[in-house]
Every structure is written in structure tokens, then in C-alpha cells.
Amino acid sequence: MTAAKTMRASKRVQALGRGLALAGLFTSAMALAAAQPQSILPAPNPTPSAVPTIAPDTTAPKIVPQVPLDEPVVNWSPSDAQALLGVIEGIDADGLIPADYQPGKLRSAIAAGDPAALSAQASKSFAWLAEDMRDGRTRFDARQQWFVVDTDIDANPTSALMARALQSHDVAGVIEGLQPTVPDYGELKGLLAVTPASDKAKRNLIRINMDRWRWLPRELGKYYLLTNVPEFQLRLTVDNSIIRSYKTIVGKVGKTATPQLATVVQGVVFNPTWTVPQSIVKGEGLGAQLIGNPASALRQGYKVTRAKNGMITVVQQPGPNNSLGMIKLDMPNEHAIFIHDTPARGLFNQPNRALSHGCVRTERAAELGITMAILGAGMKSSDAVEIVKSGKYTRVPMTKTFPVYIMYFTMASDINGKMGTFPDLYSRDGAVLAAFAAPRKAWTGQRQSTEKVIKLDNPL
């Protein structure tokens, strides 16, 4: 990026609307904030048949150890085994494949009447089914750029699920209790039920997107942000209902494609600064240009310093021309991906908005940031508006946990609640489809992707 290019870009930027236009955006958000609980995460449900969740905590890079294989062999009665067989035979309703769980062998074991053989087969069939319902059938080698850690196994290990099923004699209920709670899963399940077997392409598309929901924690939280990358949309969600939606700009196809991850918003940064990556400062010569022309740097809103070791640092100061715009959500993660505003708001009018270097830009960012400050930090809307109008860097820390999910669904409910399909922007469906077409792979206990993390810290 040259200084000339930066100047041309600056001329195309329109200042963010303030005053009455801002103040009028937050009436419904204030109504929501009036009765907020101190914690916006769902409390664990003590009901034995429920499947509680632990909120994702990916605020810092860490290695999640594999979970030891948990496939116990316990005593099964013929009646419970028969109930399990019925669940397996009907599991296509959840987009899974009955043959994966050896219904023929289970049927034979029931008929043979050997208690030891019956218990061994029933335990294996149940464990495999529970694993796939809880964690997803698709293994990590087919989950491209998927960096979410699903915590469901922590609350519901297979041994505990099996014990619960046999104690209650409700195998179907325990398996059903592993289904994701988001409305989209039920919508996809209903669509699968009415899609003819002859329409294999549509049924496969439904299956893989149902499975993607199983890769996530079963419950996403009372309040959360979710952006569906191929849809170019961001949702602010309360009790699984969309309160507001925003057009987004996401990573370009290729090396700067936006990865899928889950983290939490730790703060809202109003009037952010932007530390220009060294790939631009040094690699594209911006630092050398600006250090020798302080008047140009000042005119463009850059603060330039040179360390004793010669390293040049360029920090773009707050203002309408800042590359991050007027708002940035502080959501630490090892990918350096975050949600932020942009001065180039005209780009939101384009139908295909895969235009960034990985980060997610959002329209109406001032509205989103102020709403987040109200809901997540208990701030008054008038105070938040004044912070925006001040033009000064201000970080408002969240006092409540606010999850963020950056997802990839090619079939899902759109922001109007209508089920639709979205282009396979990054060609990630193929690997999942191939995994479904192949025999089921044994679960290894892997909980985290081993793909290389590419730090995408350039919003331009």
C-alpha cells in the first residue's frame, strides 16, 4: 500500500453519521438492557436428561488435549438393546447413517441371546452413535479451517450417557438430548424429512450442514453474535432469536479466507487505532515513505516511530479514515481475527463481499458497538453515543460474557428466517461430503484442529 493509494482511498471515505442518526438506533436495545441478568450464559441444567454446556473459552492460544477414548462395555438388557436398535434404524432423521452403528450385528446379538455378546455390541453401537450425535460424524481432517473446540464431551462423556440411558431405560431420550438446541437444526431436520430420497444432492447438503451444528457446543449461550461467512451476514442473537442483523465483508478466497472459530468479546473499542502490520510497513515500504515525510504522515492520520534497532512502527490514529472505522470488537484469538467497522462502507452494496484479508467488517458498526456496550457492559446509550462522538480512543470492557461464532453454513435459515442455500465460497463442502460418503472413521479423541494457524491481522 503506497501513500498515494492511501490518499485516494481517503477521498472516497464518508464520515460516520453522528448525533440524531446515532441516538435513534438504540431504543430497542435499551429495552432489552433494562432487565438483563448479571450472567448472559445459560446456567447448567441439573435435570439428569439434560445436556448442559460450557461456554467456549478460546481467548488465548492453547492446546486442548485429546480425550481418551470413552467406549465402556456395560450390561445391556434385551429390551434396552431393542430400543437402541430402533433409534439406530431411525437415525437418518438426524442426517446420520444407520449402517454406521452396525444395526445388523446388534439385531443378531439380540436374537442370539448371549448376554456378553449382546452387551459388547450394544455398548459399541451406543458409543459410536452418541459420539456422532454429540461431536459430529465428520472428523477433523475434513473440517477445513475449523478451529472451534466443542466442549460437550466435558459435560457428557460417553460413559455417563450410557449409564443414564440404561438407568432411565430411555435410550431414545438420551440420544435425542444430544441434538443442538439452535432452531436451525430443527429446521434442517424438518426439511430432510420432506426431501425425497431421489434428491440425493439436496439431502447430502442438509446432512453436512446439520453435522456442522454438531461440531459446536450444543447450547451457544443466551446472547451471542454469529456470522455466517458464505451469507455475508452477522446476527446479534438473544435466546436464539435474531434481534439485529448486519451485512458483512469477509476474507477473500485463498490464503486470506476467514477461518471458523469461537471466542468471546472482551471489550468494545470505540474510535480505535490501527497498528499497521510489518508486512505493509516494511514489506510494502510504507514505513520508509512516512518516516521521511512527517507532514504526509500527519495528513493521513499516521503516527510513525523508529525504535533503536531501526524497526519502524506505524499506528493509524482514530478518525473516519481509520482502516478499522469507528468500532472494533476486542475478541482475542490466535488468528488475529476480529469484527470491525470500515471507512469503505459502499462495499456493503456489493452482492459478493469476500473482499478482506480475513477479518469481518460489519455495516452499522456504531449501532452494533453501542448495543454491545449496553448489553455487555451495562452502559447507558447516551454515554456510548458521546464516546463515539468524542473521536477519542476508548475501550469499554465487557462485564458479561458475550460469545462470538464465525461459522460456515451453505444451507441455513437466512436473516429473515427463510431456509436457503449459500454459495460454497471457500469450497469447504466437498471434504465433508466425501467424509459422509466414506465409511465412518473411528473417533480418536481429537478436539482441536492441527491445521496451521495463519495470523490474518490486516483489515485492508
pLDDT tens per residue across span 137-180:
999 999 999 999 999 999 999 999 999 999 999 999 999 999 99
Whole-number Å distance between alpha carbons of 422 and 270 = 32
The closest of 210, 204, 174 to 189, measured between CA atoms, is 210
**HEC string for the chain:** CCHHHHHHHHHCCCCCCCCHHHHCCCHHHHHHHCCCCCCCCCCCCCCCCCCCCCCCCCCCCCCCCCCCCCCCCCCCCHHHHHHHHHHHHCHHHHCCCHHHHCHHHHHHHHHHCCHHHHHHHHHHHHHHHHHHHHHCCCCHHHCCCECCCCCHHHHCCHHHHHHHHHHHCCHHHHHHCCCCCCHHHHHHHHHHHHCCCCCHHHHHHHHHHHHHHHCCCCCCCCEEEEEEHHHCEEEEEECCEEEEEEEEEEECCCCCCCCEEEEEEEEEEECCCEECCHHHHCCCCHHHHHHCCHHHHHHHCEEEEECCCCCEEEEECCCCCCCCCCEEEECCCCCCCCEECCCCHHHHHCCCCEEECCCEEECCHHHHHHHHHHHHHCCCHHHHHHHHHHCCCEEEEEEEEEEEEEECCCEEECCCCCEEECCCCCCCHHHHHHHHHCCCCCCCCCCCCCCCCCCCCCCC
Q: Which one is predicted more confidently, 307 or 50? A: 307
Which residues on neighbouring strands pair with residue 7, listed in sequence order? none
Q: How much is the pTM?
A: 0.83
The reported pLDDT for the residue numbered 401 is: 85
The reported pLDDT for the residue numbered 460 is: 58
Q: Quick check: 15 pLDDT over 50?
A: no
Whole-number Å distance between alpha carbons of 297 and 301 = 6
Once rounded to an integer, what is the mean pLDDT over residues 380-388?
94
Amino acid type, 406:
I
The reported pLDDT for the residue numbered 64 is: 54
Q: Quick check: 63 pLDDT over 70?
A: no
| CB of 325 closer than 8 Å to CB of 342 | yes
Tens of pLDDT, residue by residue over 312-371, are 999 999 998 899 999 999 999 999 899 999 999 999 999 999 999 899 999 999 999 999
* CATH numbers and ranges of domains, the chain: 8-46+221-273+322-427 (2.40.440.10), 78-219 (no CATH), 274-317 (no CATH)
Whole-number Å distance between alpha carbons of 314 and 281 = 7
Q: Quick check: 8 pLDDT over 80?
A: no
The three cell numbers of residue 159 are 460413559
Owner of C-alpha cell 461464532:
405
Tens of pLDDT, residue by residue over 414-440, are 999 999 999 999 999 999 999 999 999
Find the helix packing angle between 381-390 and 365-377, rounded to 10°: 130
Amino acid type, 381:
S
Whole-number Å distance between alpha carbons of 130 and 132 = 6
Tens of pLDDT, residue by residue over 188-236, are 999 999 999 999 999 999 999 999 999 999 999 988 999 999 999 999 9
| CB of 69 closer than 8 Å to CB of 443 | yes
The closest of 195, 302, 250 to 423, measured between CA atoms, is 250
| CB of 387 closer than 8 Å to CB of 406 | no
Q: Quick check: 406 pLDDT over 90?
A: yes
Encode 5-26: b = buried (16+ Cβ within 10 Å), e = exposed. ebeebeeebeebeeeeebeebb
